Amino acid sequence: MIEHLPALIPVSLILFAFLAGFLRLVNPRLSRYSAILGALTAFVFSIVVTIDVLKNGSISYHFGNWPPPYGIEFVLDTLTCFMVLVITGIGSTLLMFPTKPGFMIDEQQQSPLYTLVLLLLTGLCGMVLSGDLFNVYVFMEISSLTTFALVSLGGPKAAVASFRYLIMASIGACCYLLGLGFIFFTVGSVNMADVLQLLPAVYDSPSIIGGALLMITGLGLKMALFPFHTWLPDAHSYAPPIVAALLAAVQIETSAYIAIRLLLNVFTPALMSDLLPITQIIGWLGAAGIIFGSVMAIAQTNFKRMLAYSTVAQVGFVTLGLGLANPLGMVGGILHILAHALMKSCLFLVAGSISHHSGITNIQDFQGLGRRMPWTMAAFTVAALSMIGIPPTAGFFSKWYLLLGSLDNNNWVFLVVILASTLLNAIYFFRLIEKIYSPGDAQVEAGTQSKDLPKNMLVPIIILAVAILLMGAVSVWLVNNLLMPVVGGL
Amino acid sequence: MTDITIHYSYIIIIILLAIGLYGMLGKRNLIKKCIGLTIFQTAIFLFFIEGGLKDGGTVPVIDPSLGVEAINYINPLPHVMILTAIVVSTATTGVAMALLLKIYRKYNSLEEDVIMERMKE
């Protein structure tokens, strides 16, 4: 049993996806419970696998007992474990949020919501676990296809946004496939470990540079790296809250993780920097994205749209860490994946529940909400402080490592960008926090005295907020045990 | 010059890629964008098929008269990968069509400018 766990993580998700689909015909509520159960099962499996990896070192799982260069392989090192934990953990917490406010449609309505969500999680886990380049493509497409359907649930405007996203994401996937072709025809293998060994012999071949560029461009389109971010604000702000949270928290970040994996374990930075400073280019694009996303977020009046633009900025942090290409910077970037996943999903859930509960979507209507919804707004404040990067919240630690990484490289521009983005974040979140806790309109307040959210909506929000606070305490452990073993060798 | 004549198929693939990209990014009609996407994907399939070609190679099923030398057989991996990619592209087109249906029912048009106009109302 234990040796099959790597495969069981996506398999359990996919089995429960179909179970949820069938149960929906019997009772929509059962479908939701089975989805939660499926995600939790995968989460438990990931915890068990992580403990095993920490004890016995990396696992390589061979499908059908075919050894790696010929067979399909799942590779689990500590970094993979970290990502799988983030994906399944955030996924199961988000699924606990009730259907109606979470997807903006009734449970009774005829759409296999939970099947789609679990398939999305399957795709993401598969991308992370997969040890060969082509399976990454296949799982990436599974996650993308379900995303298009999920985004379009948000209504006709969301369908238009989803179609645009479909075009951009498909260009991205095609670029990745084309680049994969370049690599495959040059070295004759698609297994990551195998490619890593075969590459040095053919390193000066232009098709390797072309292939690497195409693959990274494709992933850049998928993760909304700065000049390719155009599809993101529409798709994320029109999507239903749970979907927006899933996309911003895990889907975007998984593509970023694949880019990190490629540059770390396939085209190693040391070799790549002689030919083409690809990590530096990515880092600079990330820095540009941070500034652009933050400035655009300040200009927004709609809360969800502001969060969508801030996602553009936050992806910038992950790629900036990648661009630094030193252990501390990498750790900061990867830690920011977790920090961003926690705080952005918390914020999107708050946005969704406020708009469901009191119909508020615009920032100027937030006046006095702190009095009416004390718990929700406390969670919101924690997430907002974490976005700014105030200790002891999660956002502080990832930014701290990024700062140390930029100091290590003597990269003063990145240092200034990180500090400037903190200021810009402070501008748009303190503006909100001030509104929330200033006394509201007395008449409105008298009518809707202290009506906080119902418990079932509040629980996932509070879980995420507590996790943001706790992450500070465990971040040192995470860095020493999960991240450093993989990126420390840079 | 000889290089170009031998590898003429790659030039056709590049032209197809360019047509597909233009269709997706340059055209304002959503159906034409879909067609562009299909052309783009097909060009990549052709790239893999062309790359998998080998002079004097045959079907990768061991033939007693040819022996077990790998040189006599074509590597089946690119074809298998493309088979998977074709499935993916068909599914993508299917989802795109479903989205277009949803858009058309609401806005009664598939021209991007008209849809933008009606979205503002």
| pLDDT, tens digit (0-9, with 9 covering 90-100), for A320-345 | 988 888 888 889 999 999 999 999 99
ipTM for the predicted complex comes to: 0.93
Using one digit for the tens of pLDDT, what is the confidence trace for A104-113? 776 666 678 8
CB-CB contact of A128 with A254 (8 Å): yes
CB-CB contact of A254 with A167 (8 Å): no
Distance, in angstroms, between B64 CA and closest chain A CA? 23
- Which of A61-70, A81-90, A401-410 is the least confident region? A61-70
Cis peptide before A392 (omega within 30 of 0): yes
Q: Which of A156, A174, A188 sits opposite B102 (nearest CB)?
A: A156
Q: How far apart are CA B97 and CA A245, in angstroms?
A: 26
Per-domain boundaries in chain B: 2-120
Indicate whether this model's pTM tops 0.90.
Answer: yes
- Which of A99-108, A304-313, B84-93 is the least confident region? A99-108
Residues contacting residue A101 through CB under 8 Å, at least 6 positions apart: A241, A352, A353, A356, A357, A457
Using one digit for the tens of pLDDT, what is the confidence trace for A112-146? 888 999 999 999 999 999 988 999 999 999 999 99
Q: How far apart are CA A351 and CA A14, in angstroms?
A: 29
Distance, in angstroms, between A478 CA and closest chain B CA? 36
The count of C-alpha atoms lying within 13 angstroms of the C-alpha of B52, restricted to the half-sphere facing its C-beta, is 21
Q: How far apart are CA A470 and CA A27, in angstroms?
A: 37
Give the Å distances, CA to CA, from A365 to A199, A203, A432, A438: 57, 58, 10, 12
pLDDT at A165: 93
Distance, in angstroms, between B67 CA and closest chain A CA? 21
pLDDT at A273: 64
Instruction: Give burial (CB, 10 Å; 0-12/13-18/19+) of A77.
Output: middle
Q: A327-349: b or e for each residue (b if 16 or more CB lie within 10 Å)? A: bbbbbbbbbbbbbbbbbbbbbbb
A141/B91 CB distance under 8 A:
yes
B95/A145 CB distance under 8 A:
yes
* SS3 state at B73: strand
Contacts of A184 in chain B (CB under 8 A): 51, 77-78
Residue with the bigger pLDDT between A445 and A379: it is A379
pLDDT at A120: 94
Name the pLDDT band for A274 (thresholds 50, 70, 90).
Answer: low
Any CB–CB contact under 8 A between B103 and chain A?
A: yes
Name the pLDDT band for A45 (thresholds 50, 70, 90).
Answer: very high
Name the pLDDT band for A19 (thresholds 50, 70, 90).
Answer: very high
Residues A407-419 have a mean pLDDT of 88
Contacts of A166 in chain B (CB under 8 A): 92, 95-96, 99
Residue with the bigger pLDDT between B94 and A199: it is B94
pLDDT < 70 positions in chain B: 1-4
Alpha helical stretches, state H, A438-454: 442-447
A162/B99 CB distance under 8 A:
yes
Any CB–CB contact under 8 A between B80 and chain A?
A: no
pLDDT at A272: 65
Q: How many residues make up chain B in this entry?
A: 121
CB-CB contact of A179 with A195 (8 Å): no
Q: How far apart are CA A348 and CA A246, in angstroms?
A: 9
pLDDT at A172: 94
Distance, in angstroms, between B6 CA and closest chain A CA? 17
Distance, in angstroms, between B9 CA and closest chain A CA? 15
Any CB–CB contact under 8 A between B35 and chain A?
A: no
Any CB–CB contact under 8 A between B77 and chain A?
A: yes
What single DSSP character describes residue A226? G
A178/B44 CB distance under 8 A:
yes
Q: Which of A145, A156, A188 sits opposite B103 (nearest CB)?
A: A156
Name the pLDDT band for A48 (thresholds 50, 70, 90).
Answer: very high
Contacts of B51 in chain A (CB under 8 A): 181, 184-185
Using one digit for the tens of pLDDT, what is the confidence trace for B11-22? 999 999 999 999
Contacts of A185 in chain B (CB under 8 A): 51
B107/A156 CB distance under 8 A:
yes
Res A450 pLDDT > 60: no
Question: What's the mean per-residue pLDDT of chain A?
Answer: 87
Per-domain boundaries in chain A: 2-487
Residues A442-466 have a mean pLDDT of 73
pLDDT at A408: 87
**For the CA atoms of chain A, what is the radius of gyration?**
22
Res A489 pLDDT > 70: no
pLDDT at A275: 67
Residues A368-373 have a mean pLDDT of 79
Q: Which of B41, B81, B91 sits opposite A145 (nearest CB)?
A: B91
pLDDT at A278: 81
Q: Specify the CATH class of B2-120 in words.
A: mainly alpha
Q: How far apart are CA A408 and CA A328, in angstroms?
A: 8
The rounded percent of chain A whose pLDDT value lies above 90 is 41
CB-CB contact of A397 with A331 (8 Å): no
